[in-house]
Structure 1
């Protein structure tokens, strides 16, 4: 059963972006002349997603106004508000009452990847399992280290490992296809040392308990639009792609 619904996390404040996100929600920052959130929603619709639940918070009215003015053809959207930023697991759980039973694609409003990654992710899901997008890094200390076997089955996930301790170069890139099995693991989560309820910890528990997750390496670049430097890099890439200097 292929997922036709999605959850998009778009509630963050973007504090590391400073004045760039002072009056613009981070997901509405433009890359290649288009707000990132619109690019993501258009990519989801092209991949066969028919309905998206968008978790909003900071400057929520700006996001609602933008999507009302620029609806994505073929995609129905609904909004839920995260009043307190308690982590990605709690954010995804807010969408649960609005999802139909079955699989769903979860993604972040501040992650930039090329559109083809979403259908690749959807196609990789094994029966009864899930799939996560991964990107190669020198050291995944800033995200979640993802360990895989020779068939790209996930064997272990370590959220925020100490620098220099990982024996894998795969980082959790964010987008994932999940199913009903995620909810009991989310419900059992304890807060992390940062005081947040983090979705990768629920996925790690699922893997430890026998749920099959497939890792899907990112095709093309991966940008986490969390700093002025990463935003600038994404914009340079998009401009190069527009000019035909890189593969679109």
Structure 2
């Protein structure tokens, strides 16, 4: 297993589902009670041994830039942080492609900037890296059990050899993508710069049988909705020993 040295945190989106909250503040910097999703993600990546992190930004980019500059000046993180500013939103794959030269042709971690993972996130990243095989995997997605309070169905069909595929109409799945993956930059070799959804790269990888999943029952919250944000804040309260509406960080969702 080759060591994964680099990561990218996706922090460019507008976060429209949170309404007024994201008019002035990008989702990854919304206060959760003394911390932010972006800070937690970066700390977890650092503890997992990541040496360099690219953070893309667009919406309220100055807030992301100011936060990163402050962390740099205070030596909050020991790894190198690189900002990738997008004048126009490029979607996930487009944003990754814009920053691809920073990855030096080596596999890297991708983390959604609006996900709050539970304690032990660094170990989760390490486990994912241990499962990654650069020779056969273009993508390795972290998959967890579906939280049926959040969504009715899972995202993928999972094969015995670890490969994943899209579901057929009416097909039921109990696994859900949790916003964390490892990607080999060769998937971007023939991709032109510009707007590009991640789904297009996933389709190609599935067709080439190079898209895999790692199943793990690890806790996470999508804080991109008002309900998810409240749950994320309750989770932080619980972790800090404060009264919260949730009794524990649920095992998934």
TM-score class normalised by the smaller sequence: 0.7 to 0.9
Q: Are 1:238 and 2:236 counterparts?
A: yes
Q: Deviations over 1:39-83 (max 9, x none)?
A: 101100111111011110011111111122224422111111122
Which of 70, 77, 84 does residue 80 from structure 1 map onto?
84
Name the SS of the counterpart of 2:128 in structure 1.
helix
Write 1 or 2 for the structure with the bigger share of strand. 1
Aligned twin of 1:122? 129
Alignment length (residue pairs): 236
Whole-Å separation in 1 of the counterparts to 2:235 and 2:213 = 28
Seen in structure 2, the aligned counterparts of structure 1 residues 231 and 136 have a Cα distance that, compared at 3 Å, is same
Query: Do the aligned partners of 1:132 and 1:213 also contact (CA within 8 Å) in 2?
Result: yes
- 1:227 paired with 2:225, answer yes
Q: Which runs of 5+ in 1 are unaligned?
A: none
1:210 correspondence with 2:204: no
| 1:131-177 deviation per Cα after TM superposition (whole angstroms, max 9, x unaligned) | 211132249979971211235x123035xx87xx2321212222110
TM-score, structure 2 length as denominator? 0.82
When normalised by structure 1's length, the TM-score is: 0.84
Q: Distance in 2 between matches of 1:219 and 1:227?
A: 20
1:163-208 Cα deviation digits (max 9, x unpaired)? xx232121222211011332147x28xx9xxxx7321431232132
Give structure 2 stretches of 5+ with no counterpart: none
Aligned partner of 1:154 in structure 2 is 163
